[in-house]
Amino acid sequence: MEVKMSSSQYVERKGSCELNPAVTEHLLKILIIGDGNVGKSSFVHRYVNGQFNKTYKMTVGVDFSVKLLNWSEKEKVRLQLWDIAGQERFISMTRIYYKGALGCVVMFDVTSSSSFLNCRLWKQDLDNKAMLLNGDSIPCILLANKCDLTQRVVSADSINRFSKANGFVTWMETSVKENKNVEQAMRRLVQEILSVQSSLDQIHPTCQEHVTPQVDSEDHNNRGESCC
Ligand SMILES: Nc1nc2c(ncn2[C@@H]2O[C@H](COP(=O)(O)OP(=O)(O)OP(=O)(O)O)[C@@H](O)[C@H]2O)c(=O)[nH]1
Ligand SMILES: [Mg+2]
């Protein structure tokens, strides 16, 4: 199996000849950012484990999950999901967490106007600290979570304008609780990342190597692996 990755955090895979050479595996590091309590960890838990927990357990630093997608007959996609703590006290660490990311989810809670307004700061923080090999911003999707709740305070119109003005690939309403648009949002983001990476690979062909992921930070927990 051929494994492709464009990030500098990956090193050469040993023994890849034992794997199926007809299948390419893409390794993508994806960040999940946004204010505390908006539903980031719930989103990852739903996407990876298919479950929802209504009790809030604040993330400390970062949590780390992996999901393997059978993208097509010839392509697998291994997602490394970096679920970053949204509480202010952890924000000083983001530069380290963002390193090598190829895509990002920015999430807010539709019942919290401050979490929506802070998406501008999260996106700016991301664009200042992470970029693609060609200097462009990494593909980013905006998620308006908790759309199952009736006490909504952020309109679709303002989200749409904000998304366009701040360079998001697109935006979607999600309800992690009701499993609305969770798979669809990730699919859209992965599509965009693969398309951007394929254009970059044409410009930087030397980045296409047989590689395997190597974690460069120790303060995260591996929460396990899931395959669709
Ligand atoms: N009603 C509703 N509640 C949700 C939804 N998604 C998450 N929650 C709840 O919102 C709370 C916060 O969820 P978390 O996923 O822990 O939030 P977080 O963004 O990871 O927060 P930090 O770790 O502090 O950054 C929990 O009580 C979840 O059950 C949703 O779609 N609808
Ligand atoms: Mg969390």
Ligand nearest to the CA of 176: 1
Q: How far is the CA of 84 from the centre of ligand 2 (A)?
A: 7
Q: How far is the CA of 81 from the centre of ligand 2 (A)?
A: 12
Would you place residue 149 in the very low, low, confident or very high pLDDT band (cuts 50, 70, 90)? very high
Would you place residue 1 in the very low, low, confident or very high pLDDT band (cuts 50, 70, 90)? low
CB 6 within 8 Å of CB 134? no
Q: 3-state DSSP: the chain helix, strand, coil percent, rounded to 5?
A: 35, 30, 40
Question: For the whole model, what pTM was predicted?
Answer: 0.86
Question: Which domains, ranges and CATH numbers included, belong to the chain?
Answer: 3-223 (3.40.50.300)
Residue whose Cα lies nearest atom 1 of ligand 1: it is 146
pLDDT in tens, 61-110: 999 999 999 999 999 999 999 999 999 888 888 999 999 999 999 999 99
89 lines ligand 1 (CB under 6 A): no
Neighbours of ion ligand 2 (CB under 5 A): 40-41, 59
